[in-house]
Amino acid sequence: MSDGLDSWYHEKESAWLYRRVADRESDPLKSQLFRKLGEAAEDQARKWESLQPQREFEFRPSVRARVVAGLVDQIGPRAARNVLAAMKLRGLSIYTSTTAPGHVMPTSVSQVGERHRGGVSGGNLRATVFGINDGLVSNAALVMGVAGSGAAPSIVLMTGTAGLLAGALSMAAGEYVSVRSQRDMYEYQIALEREELAEYPEEEAEELALIYEARGMDLEQARIFARSLLGNPDHALDVLAREELGLNPDDLGSPLGAASSSFLAFALGAVLPLLPFLIGLPAHSVMGWTIGVTAIALAAVGMLISLFTGRNAWLGAARMVAIGGGAGVIAWLVGSWLGVALG
């Protein structure tokens, strides 16, 4: 396709998806927003058509767009917002914004960004705690299962070490791919947004105004506010990323940093059940110490998790000990059965 035809097709496909999202959206304000965004995309497509009056234009949604639309029909726009963002649909920040209709809207660029910030360090701490918990529970169950089969302490230590490395590397690889994919999507969409902001500043301002209108602001006031925000070239792209695309640049970490953190968190949790083996405790008491260390660590993790859930710390500790203990008992029984069955 030529550049003009590419742009026309993109606008038509966006309009088609906006209508599908609007049809599926149960909230009237959100549905109206997506219908208006669809109309804006149709207007933009007509402008491209007017530049080539001799050409015959025929639109058919791509397979990818049909799959995304089907997903929206099945699970709803809110649940599918990340997939819709990859299709470069705007207005998705209404599903993540904390501003309710009728609330006072921000009056400066700094306030626009501030509403989306603040949870990054807490999110990292939460991920670390859960990473430790994953390593602790999975490796403790592995150690209990191998020990239940009657294996020598050296075999249990070797197996647990292999489990630590395998789990930590798997977690690190998954986190790297996840964060790298997020960054790739963000960079791709920001590049497209930069081009459109340079070519169609008025259209971008109108789309941003529609988003603010859906949040409760008067349309004329929203238009004035949107133009003032986009009039600052140093902040315009940041505003569009947050408000139109629902992307928060502050949430995008380093893929290598995220992978390293996941590796260390999982390894820290996974090494705890191995400590009695590593320090060479006697064979007749090593499993007792392993169970004790694991139970204390599970209780500590449960208390830390309660910081994020708001629940009673002791109940959180008891629940984690029960969950981890249950996993360990099942692994021990299966290991014992296999030890007997395999001789």
Helix (H, G, I), strand (E, B) or coil at 308: helix
pLDDT attached to residue 115: 46
pLDDT attached to residue 149: 85
pLDDT attached to residue 11: 87
Give residues with Cβ within 8 angstroms of 328, minimum separation 6.
Answer: 140, 141, 144, 291, 294
Token pair 């390593």: residue: 135
User: How many whole angstroms separate alpha carbon 149 and alpha carbon 147?
Assistant: 5
User: How many whole angstroms separate alpha carbon 270 and alpha carbon 173?
Assistant: 17
Q: What does pTM read for this prediction?
A: 0.62
- Please give the chain's pLDDT, 343 residues, in tens: 455 678 888 889 999 999 999 999 998 888 988 898 898 888 888 888 888 877 778 889 999 899 999 999 999 998 888 788 778 787 777 776 544 444 444 444 444 444 444 444 445 666 778 888 899 999 999 999 998 888 888 999 999 999 999 999 999 999 899 888 878 877 777 777 777 777 777 777 777 787 777 777 887 888 888 777 777 766 777 777 776 666 666 666 788 888 899 999 999 999 999 999 998 888 778 888 989 999 999 999 888 888 777 778 899 889 989 998 899 899 899 988 887 667 5
Q: End-to-end CA distance of the chain: give it in Å, rounded.
A: 68
User: Which of 247, 223, 248 lies closest to 36 in space, CA to CA?
Assistant: 223
For 14, 48, 216, 299, 310, the CA distances from 43, given in Å and listed in that order, are 12, 9, 24, 59, 49
User: How many whole angstroms separate alpha carbon 96 and alpha carbon 99?
Assistant: 9
User: How many whole angstroms separate alpha carbon 89 and alpha carbon 6?
Assistant: 16
Q: Which two tokens stand for residue 172?
A: 């690190």
